[in-house]
Amino acid sequence: RVPGHGVLGGGPTPLSRCSPGPLSGLHTWPESACAGAQEGPTWTRGRQGGRGTPPLGQRPLTSPSAGPALTGSPSPRSKVWRLSGGLEVPGALNWEVTLCLLACWVPVHFCVWKGVKSTGKIVYFTATFPYVVLVVLLVRGVLLPGALDGIIYYLKPDWSKLGSPQVWIDAGTQIFFSYAIGLGALTALGSYNRFNNNCYKDAIILALINSGTSFFAGFVVFSILGFMAAEQGVHISKVAESGPGLAFIAYPRAVTLMPVAPLWAALFFFMLLLLGLDSQFVGVEGFVTGLLDLLPASYYFRFQREISVALCCALCFVIDLSMVTDGGMYVFQLFDYYSASGTTLLWQAFWECVVVAWVYGADRFMDDVACMIGYRPCPWMKWCWSFFTPLVCMGIFTFNVVYYKPLVYNNTYVYPWWGEAMGWGFALSSMLCVPLHLLGCLLRAKGTMAERWQHLTQPVWGLHHLEYRAQDSDVRGLTTLTPVSESSKVVVVESVM
């Protein structure tokens, strides 16, 4: 086969060889092309095994529980992931996926190692090109038969779901992932801004663009899924998967049903690649920036940043090798479910609000923002920091704990007890940082416990960034704190964080 023929010549995509094909109005599974790709129960005419099983290669995609739905999930699990029997059977490295992993980390290193200026130039393309792809895919999607049904399904709310705690848990945690809250990335990137940068306006723009992009992308996805449902003659709920299955299985399978499928598949996966690289840029930048800021100035040496970025990428690559083995998907699910879970982020965000609003002081923080941008933000922000946000975070966190369900992969594989213990170890490694650091500060301080607490929670005034202080008397009038001398204008906090 000539390289590139699939995209340029309009040939079939590899995924389409393991796709359903029409046979007398039925959607069949070409088992000759998907040998070894089928997992789980045998697909039959309404029941498993027994009499009435069609010949091999002509089995309608009908499950006794799910109806005539096609998810396409067995093929990637066997063909690409090569799943082993469980977490206790790691198996060998999948060299194809390992090379893909290496091909992702190498550009991340060379894009980040020179700092945010070089990264920013690259992000001009990686952050804007996905919007071009989304527009192209949307135009193509809405012209397909069944697209309108998919869009209606997307826009029609199911109000009964609001009574389910799991919906609120999922929505709350998704916001944290989408906005990168509690990950330190926004703080690290914001540290490179000018002192007088309007961070208040940036925060509002970030929220609007983020939510607007997610809403717009929904039209792209569900227009294609509506076409897929129409092609199969099933309800759209039968083809709309959640999680990774939607992006990597259901949507690509729908693309194979479109004319010139390789072109749309290439655009879609190239867009996913750029989005993933953007996320990696921010994650590595946030980690390296925080690490270098902790080092004293006496530890500075030439090429400090370059070496730090290289070590960070190399360490992450080594850790990721555990996820590209035959049992790597089980390890990945552990990290995804526990280490980077909404429970962890909610815990961190709650304590951030407590420290800023109640230890440092919401009014003092508002004064600092006014000093930076020249005006005081909306008073609603102060009430959010003090009451609304911490209460919502703690409420969803409590729901997460009360309605906790042990991790089950693909609704079939139950993790062993030591796997769950490992997952909770990942989660607690982040969650315990706050109380352990507080305890360490209290133990190192001198005096009685009350004196130690007062000392640790008392802001320290210093001679930092005096040249950035606004000279306008109107700006000075925005503050509510008692005026201080010229030698102590800028506040820094030695908080329990």
The two three-digit tokens of residue 167, written as one number: 């919906």
For Cα atoms 482, 488, 493, give the angle at the middle one, nearest 5 degrees: 85
For Cα atoms 90, 339, 210, give the angle at the middle one, nearest 5 degrees: 120
Asked whether the beta carbons of 245 and 221 are under 8 A apart, the reply is: no
The set of residues, in sequence order, having a beta carbon less than 8 Å from that of 149 and lying 6+ positions away, is: 226, 229, 230, 236
Residue 27's beta-bridge partner residues? Answer: 22
**Cβ neighbour number for residue 488 with a 10 Å cutoff:** 12
Alpha carbons within 13 angstroms on the beta-carbon side of residue 309 total 25
C-alpha dist (Å) from residue 187 to 203, 283, 288, 349: 12, 11, 12, 13
How many angstroms separate the CA atoms of 184 and 191, rounded? 11
**Cβ neighbour number for residue 267 with a 10 Å cutoff:** 20
Ligand-binding annotation for 84, yes or no, is: no
> In the 8-state DSSP scheme, what is residue 254?
H
Ligand-binding annotation for 275, yes or no, is: yes
Residue 21's beta-bridge partner residues? Answer: 28
Ligand-binding annotation for 442, yes or no, is: no
Q: Is residue 482 packed enough to be buried (19+ CB in 10 Å), middle (13-18) or exposed (0-12)?
A: exposed
The set of residues, in sequence order, having a beta carbon less than 8 Å from that of 261 and lying 6+ positions away, is: 12, 13, 16, 255
C-alpha dist (Å) from residue 113 to 109, 126, 158, 303: 6, 17, 47, 9
Q: Which residue has the tokens 């799991």?
A: 166
Asked whether the beta carbons of 97 and 75 are under 8 A apart, the reply is: no
CA-closest candidate to residue 384, choices 404, 366, 410: 366
Pairing type for strands 490-492 and 21-23 reads: unpaired
> How many angstroms separate the first and last alpha carbons of the chain?
59
Asked whether the beta carbons of 358 and 495 are under 8 A apart, the reply is: no
- Binding-site annotation: residue ranges for Na(+): 178, 210, 275, 278-279
Q: Which residues are annotated as a binding site?
A: 178, 210, 275, 278-279
